[in-house]
Amino acid sequence: MSKRLIVFALCFLAAFSMVGAWLLNRPSSDVTAKLRQIAVNYTLAKESWDDAVADDDVEINDGNYEVYVWRRPSRPGSYRIVIMDAEGEILEYQKGR
């Protein structure tokens, strides 16, 4: 077996295992919807906004969930990042730049 084939196989297996781990650790759509709603409600309570919407994607960093919440109507820098744990407990609240 050539070295190129072995290297290719190892790279393929590494990429496949990373995708598999991402799929297994991705929150379900029910959990995502719950976290998004918590983030929107928290943001509306903290800000003087009339309306807000959360991104569809919920990012996972260090086991915590990040939800981007955008002001409606949108304005430059009018977003917030709500970081929470799996139970929906708010850990951090950041203003957009």
Q: Is domain 28-95 in CATH 3.10.450, yes or no?
A: yes
Locate the domains of the chain by residue range. 28-95
Model pTM above 0.85? no
- Pairing, β 90-95 against β 51-54: unpaired
Q: List the one residue out of 65, 71, 68, 70 whose CA is nearest residue 90.
A: 65
Question: Tens digit of pLDDT for each residue in 6-42?
Answer: 766 666 566 655 545 444 455 677 888 999 999 999 9
pLDDT at 23: 46
Is residue 75 pLDDT above 50, yes or no?
yes
Q: Where are the beta strands (DSSP E) in 1-97?
A: 51-54, 59-61, 64-72, 79-84, 90-95
